Amino acid sequence: MKFNWGTGIVLAFIGFISFIMYFIITMNTDSKYDHDLVTEDYYKQELEFQNDIDKQKNGNALKTNIDWKKTNEGIVILFPEALKTENITGKVFLYRPSNKQFDFDITISLSNHNLLIPDKRLLGGRWNIIVDWQYKGKSYLYKKEIVY
């Protein structure tokens, strides 16, 4: 058999197609390449995005917004001192980007202006804190990325 340009081009195409097919099959069958959406209801959350922006604007309009600090007992979320604690309701959601099994939420129930998230529930590393709360019928949202 004589090797010419036409044979070389056909062999190059066959090699390239084989190379691409190898990666397609590998990415679809190997479990270490599985990547889920960030959250299960991603598209639903996307539709509520403007609502979240409005809630964040409400929080930024306060004299003092929510803050947090790290203590020996865990993370303390500090609510504004000017607000009455009995009128504050909502949830605190802690999201672990590296592993969704560690995600959890806490219902806000305050006796003073601080909410403690215990150290035993938190692993070292990056966390996203989302505080979705209401005060006298007005909704607020606080988001923060922290390293614990």
Residue 126, phi then psi, degrees to nearest 5: -85, 135
The confidence band for 37, taking pLDDT boundaries of 50, 70 and 90, is: low
At 131, the pLDDT band (50, 70, 90 cuts) reads: very high
* Cα separation, 126 vs 104, whole angstroms: 14
pLDDT at 39: 65
Between 73 and 20, name the one with better pLDDT.
Answer: 20
Query: What strands, in cross-sheet order, belong to the sheet with 126-135?
Result: 104-107, 88-95, 126-135, 138-147
C-alpha triplet 51, 55, 58: angle, nearest 5°: 140
Dihedral of the alpha carbons of 15, 12, 33, 47, in degrees to the nearest 10 = -140
Instruction: Please give the structure tokens belonging to residue 67.
Output: 């803050």
Residue 122 — pLDDT band, cuts 50, 70, 90? confident
Q: What are phi and psi of 135, to 5 degrees?
A: -140, 115
Q: What is the mean pLDDT of residues 8-19?
A: 95
Q: Find the angle CA(34)-CA(40)-CA(44) to the nearest 5 degrees.
A: 135
Report the chain's mean pLDDT, rounded to a whole number: 86
Q: What pLDDT, on the 0 to 100 scale, is given for residue 86?
A: 86
Per-residue confidence band for 17, with pLDDT thresholds at 50, 70 and 90:
very high
Q: What is the pLDDT of residues 68-77, one digit of tens each?
A: 999 888 889 9
Per-residue model confidence as pLDDT tens digits over 61-108: 888 888 899 988 888 999 888 888 888 899 999 988 887 788 888 998
> Is the pLDDT score of 43 beyond 90?
no
Rounded Cα distance, 46 and 56, in Å: 15
